[in-house]
Structure 1
Amino acid sequence: MPRTALTRDEVLDSAAALVRQHGPQALTMRKLAAELGTAVTSIYWHVGNRESLLDALVERTVQEMGAIRPTGLTPAGRVVSVARRLRRELRDRPHLIAMVHERGLTERMFLPAQQALVHEVHAAGLRGARAAEAVRAVQFQVVGFVLVERNRERSPVQSPGEGELWEGAGAAEHDLALARALAQPADPEKLFTASVRALVSALLDD
């Protein structure tokens, strides 16, 4: 029996979940209706046709990305917090971010995060071109890191892999600890935090 008290937010929540899991090509009005236990006509009544639904998902994604707020006790710490949160948000919704990009709204999506970064680099004493450079450097670091992560995840299995290549330690005979560390899988979260902290420290150092 079709459900009754369906809301627009519930439709968008379910649609976003389908896109996150399987990509926009998997989002059909019939499949969405089945997920919600309602009739297809009810979906149309709440969000219009499929293109209108995709537009609504894009707009919602832009708004959610704008909710990033800095945390921390110092400008440097708050900049790092924005970078870490931005990376997580981009990682969590690749298909939705791609839809935003396809509709030419990427710059608008990043604006709130940029504004948060501007506030913090101003608090650190940077102004003008130097402040702009710091904001863009952090943004590029985040986006570039996410792209590298995605590329590594989608690449074919490497043979020999990084671990096998470094196990013999022949390339680092004077630093066995380094060889052992490089033979282990990378920790992306730890690596990102270390790299963005070093970047921010250099950018804000007067």
Structure 2
Amino acid sequence: MSYRPSLTNRQGCAASCGGFCNTVTTDLVKGKETRTRLDREQVLEAAAGLVKQHGPRALTMRKLAAELGTAVTSIYWHVGNRESLLDALVERTLADLGEIRPRGRTPAQRVASVARALRHQLRDHPHLIAMVHERGLTDRMFLPAQRVLVRELHAAGLRGARAADAVRAVQVHVVGHVLVERNRERAPAQRPGEHRLWDAHGADADPALARALTRPLDAERLFTLSVRALVAGLLGPPGGSRT
């Protein structure tokens, strides 16, 4: 059983939303009433959520319609076909990565903050990032973060090739750290694990070191520690200290 509004009602709804929302009948979709209004951003938000949870292969127009409680035809009306939807999600991801903002009082603090923000973006959206990569848009994806880093490195006095090396060093450090984190998360249980491999004798009579190495790795803490050390070296005197 369904209710289809009259032409007058449909025209009134279209006028009230300025023509930017889709008016959908209240037909039952799997026992639920469909939404009467839906916009493109709601569709993209729901699609991004499905991709984040289950990956792009799990994203179908039927599943998306069920998630939104609407008709499949409404999804097509807003975003076109599935390939167009995926393209829109990629563009949305690129826009989100372009919103990274540095924080801190000094250039070193701000560079480190950009690295942390970029890491969180890559960690939080692995499937969407993979879609960007598959479309050959990885360089474009990193460009906004690179531009922010350039500004901060210029503020710290770095120019030319030295600044370029610093930008790439930070980017590669972030990407490499994220890849290692993911590999550790997906790896099978280690037998024996670090807690059995290290003892005071194996640590050159350094029991505190052995105890520290038997604790679980804190990825967040390690990243902060390593990126601060990296930035300090990059912003230090050219060549650094030599021993």
Query: TM-score, normalised on structure 2?
Result: 0.83
SS in 1 for 2:216: coil
Q: Which amino acid aligns with 1:10?
A: Q
Work out the CA distance in 2 between the residues paired with 1:123 and 1:76: 10
Q: Which of 187, 192, 195 does residue 163 from structure 1 map onto? A: 195
Q: Write 1 or 2 for the structure with the bigger share of helix.
A: 1
SS in 1 for 2:192: coil
Please state how far the C-alpha of 1:169 moved relative to its aligned partner: 3.0
Which residue matches 1:180?
Answer: 211
Please state how far the C-alpha of 1:170 moved relative to its aligned partner: 2.9
* 1:154 matched to 2:186: yes
Q: Which amino acid aligns with 1:87?
A: R
Aligned length: 205
Which residue matches 1:197?
Answer: 228
Structure 2 gaps of 5+ residues are 1-32, 238-243
Work out the CA distance in 2 between the residues paired with 1:150 and 1:193: 17
Name the larger-Rg structure.
2
Please state how far the C-alpha of 1:4 moved relative to its aligned partner: 1.2
Instruction: After superposing the two structures, state which structure 1 stretch, 117-126 or 173-182, moved more.
Output: 173-182
Asked which structure has the greater RCO (Cα within 8 Å, sep 6+), the reply is: 1
Runs of 4+ in 1 over 6 A off after TM superposition: none
Which residue matches 1:69?
Answer: 101
Which residue matches 1:98?
Answer: 130
Work out the CA distance in 1 between the residues paired with 2:35 and 2:233: 57
Which residue matches 2:148?
Answer: 116
> Percent same amino acid among aligned pairs?
74
Q: Which of 125, 131, 135 does residue 167 from structure 2 map onto? A: 135
- Write the deviation string for residues 41-87 of structure 1: whole angstroms up to 9, x where unpaired: 00000000000000000000000000001010000000000000000
Q: Which of 35, 58, 65 does residue 26 from structure 1 map onto? A: 58
Query: TM-score, normalised on structure 1?
Result: 0.98
Work out the CA distance in 2 between the residues paired with 1:164 and 1:174: 16
* 1:59 matched to 2:107: no
Q: Which amino acid aligns with 2:191?
A: S
Please state how far the C-alpha of 1:163 moved relative to its aligned partner: 1.5
Please state how far the C-alpha of 1:171 moved relative to its aligned partner: 1.0
Please state how far the C-alpha of 1:173 moved relative to its aligned partner: 4.2
Work out the CA distance in 2 between the residues paired with 1:12 and 1:161: 43
Please state how far the C-alpha of 1:91 moved relative to its aligned partner: 0.1
Structure 1 gaps of 5+ residues are none
- Write the deviation string for residues 99-152 of structure 1: whole angstroms up to 9, x where unpaired: 000001111110000000000110110110000000100000000000000111
SS in 1 for 2:146: helix
